[in-house]
Amino acid sequence: MQKEFYYISLFNSKFIGDDGAYIDGMVYSADGFCEDIHFKKEWMSLKQIARKAMLVNISDVIAMNAKPQFALITIKIPKNFTNKMFHQIQEGLAKTAQEYGIEIIGGDTVAGKKLDIAITLVSATKKPIFRKPLRQGYLLAHTGTLGSVKKDLRKLLRGGKVSKKSKFIAPQLRKDFMHRANRFIQACMDISDGLFDDLEKMTRLNKVGIKFLRKIPKRVGCSGEEYELLFAFDPKDYKAIVRRAKQARTKITIFGRVTRRSYRNICKPNHF
């Protein structure tokens, strides 16, 4: 993760630092989904791989309180892929895009040894939510239940199988919760590299620390690719946040408070 911070620091732009770049009412975001880094083909069908590639990109957009509109897709495809396999990838991408109101408007294709999918989304928002401000006293929370993705990944790495409903296969995005609660959320990002890792990104950006209000096991805090929301809110909005979580049928866990003390991530990088 230190290399990621260093690489990003080489680019001097005021728009870098969030899940996407907000410019004049639009959010521009991009994410790659690469074979043997994020998945192995024997773990998922091609349709599932394509769907997850689209979902992990949409997750960034939801975290910024934006609505995705257009997608550009670059895909590296092994030369031995058949027309049937092309259709399976197209179906996973197109159906997921349609589900979220996204129009696929172009991209690029290139031959290669492994399957890689890179997606750029163009989204609109009237009220963008960023990774800052995190002010002293704000409460920190996350949606959903964390830890199952790391558990399922270990099972797959040992040669086992997981349910098609596993969050490793099919992330559960929190669009409805964000729609209902966005006016009370002060800062937000999606949990892609694990709660502890993403907390480091957010606290480093804001130059603050955390006081944990409950113990979070390492197996939970270090579970990557959860794609839940990590967010901060003012304690005065506690009842409003809880009420909207119930309306959206979304579990939330309030686990910390923003302080001046420093914070250090204890997890190793998640990608294998």
Please give the annotated binding residues for Mg(2+), written as ranges. 19, 29, 31, 60, 108, 190, 193
Burial of 232: CB neighbours in 10 Å, binned 0-12, 13-18, 19+: buried
Q: Are the C-beta atoms of residues 115 and 41 closer than 8 Å to each other?
A: yes
- Bridge-based pairing state of the strands 26-34 and 103-112: unpaired
Q: Which two tokens stand for residue 14?
A: 């005021």
Q: Apex CA 124: angle with CA 123 and CA 129, to 5°?
A: 95
Annotated binding site for ATP: 107-108, 131, 192
Annotated binding site for substrate: 38, 225, 263
Q: Are the C-beta atoms of residues 223 and 229 closer than 8 Å to each other?
A: no
Other CB atoms within a 10 A radius of the CB of residue 98 amount to: 11
CA proximity to 31, closest of 112, 121, 97: 121
Annotated binding site: 19, 29, 31, 38, 60, 107-108, 131, 190, 192-193, 225, 263
Burial of 104: CB neighbours in 10 Å, binned 0-12, 13-18, 19+: middle
Q: Which two tokens stand for residue 137?
A: 């006293």
Is residue 148 classed as helix, strand or coil in its secondary structure? Answer: helix
